[in-house]
Chains A and B, each alone.
Chain A
Amino acid sequence: MSQIQANSAWVRNIAVSPNRYHRADEPGLVPTWWRANRRFALYMLRELASVFLAVWSLRLLRQLNLLRQGEEAYDTFVAKQRRLPWLLFHISAFSFALLHSVTFLIAAGKGPTLHFMGRKVSERTITAGAFAGWAIASLAVLLALLFGGRGEDT
């Protein structure tokens, strides 16, 4: 290589010698391939979101499990959630969840092949529908958590 940096250094290229196929190097990705452009980096973050959602789900299951163990155990657990490490986790989980929602719902427009009155439904319409679904689902969660579970004592 000359002193100029090659731009496509994210893959290992293959050179062919004159008389026979010959791999100068094993093909493949260099470990830092996703730093080659912003879209690759965003893809890696998008996929990482699933890790945060899974850990958050496990944490939610633990909280639910404590409902059976009584008020004291539950309140202690909830109080711990206010500590800094958990706060940081929740902020990250929320950010990744938003990234997941936006990327997933945009991609949802590219998934199903739908027809209405014999015509293909456009990608834009499906995506708009997915985002409308997100709004309705969010509203349901909002109402349930703000007004749900109230009784005589609250």
Chain B
Amino acid sequence: MQIQRDMATHGEKDVDRIEPFWWGLFAAGGGIAAMFAPMQILLQDLLGNAGVPVATSSYRRARRLAANPLVRMYLFALTSLSLVHWAHRFRYYVMDLGVTGARRQIALVCYGTAIAGSLDAARIVLRLPGRAR
């Protein structure tokens, strides 16, 4: 009975109108992180902290580098899209971990966090100081 009922209610559903929007940003975030993140972590956070003279280890150099509009655009895209990428994956990851309920709420929290984080990223990147004297 149960299965027959499932089958009866499983008819044509509406095309999902919002999922492609999130999925596009998710794919873009996954792509930019895949392309750029490993090398940046390696240099900025591993070799840099081990003494290799990378730009981000020095305030003056980091500031000069971040004054470049291309670098700013990159930093905003990398951080904000990585957050959306997380939100979209984590929404389903929670289910993979066995939480089956509260889907709408979980999606709201995930995407909400990503949107808040992206706004913060925009604020931080827009207010980066200009070229040091």
Residues on A lying within 8 angstroms of B by beta carbon are: 20-23, 28-29, 31, 34, 44, 47-48, 50-51, 53-54, 56-58, 60-61, 63-65, 67-68, 70-71, 74-75, 78, 81-82, 87, 90-91, 93-94, 97-98, 100-101, 104-105, 108, 111, 133-134, 137-138, 140-142, 144-151, 153-154
Structural contact, B128 and A68, CB atoms closer than 8 A? yes
Where chain A touches its partner, the secondary structure class is helix
Query: Could you list 29 A-B pairs, sorted by A, with CB under 8 Å?
Result: A22-B1, A23-B3, A44-B93, A50-B82, A53-B37, A53-B85, A60-B78, A61-B79, A61-B117, A67-B66, A71-B59, A81-B45, A87-B49, A90-B41, A100-B34, A101-B38, A104-B30, A105-B34, A133-B35, A134-B34, A138-B38, A142-B39, A144-B55, A146-B53, A149-B58, A149-B64, A149-B65, A150-B55, A154-B61
Closest approach, in angstroms, between the C-beta of A68 and any C-beta of chain B?
5
Check: B101 CB closer than 8 A to any chain A CB. no
**Contact A134/B60 with A23-B2, A57-B82, A64-B128 known, Cβ cut-off 8 Å:** no
Check: B17 CB closer than 8 A to any chain A CB. no
Residues from chain B with a CB closer than 8 A to the CB of A68 are 127-129
Partner of A61, one of B37, B86, B121: B121
Using a Cβ–Cβ cut-off of 8 Å, how many residues does chain B contribute to the interface with A?
63
Structural contact, A53 and B86, CB atoms closer than 8 A? yes
Number of A-B pairs, beta carbon distance below 8 Å? 182
Q: Which one of B62, B85, B97 has the highest number of Cβ atoms from chain A below 10 Å of its Cβ?
A: B62
What residue in chain A is nearest B57 (Cβ atoms)?
A78
| A56, B42: Cα distance in complex, Å | 12
Residues from chain A with a CB closer than 8 A to the CB of B62 are 67, 74, 149
Residues from chain A with a CB closer than 8 A to the CB of B92 are 47
Structural contact, A94 and B45, CB atoms closer than 8 A? yes
Closest approach, in angstroms, between the C-beta of A46 and any C-beta of chain B?
9
Structural contact, A137 and B127, CB atoms closer than 8 A? no
Residues from chain B with a CB closer than 8 A to the CB of A82 are 49
Structural contact, A145 and B96, CB atoms closer than 8 A? no
Structural contact, A47 and B129, CB atoms closer than 8 A? no
Structural contact, B34 and A101, CB atoms closer than 8 A? yes
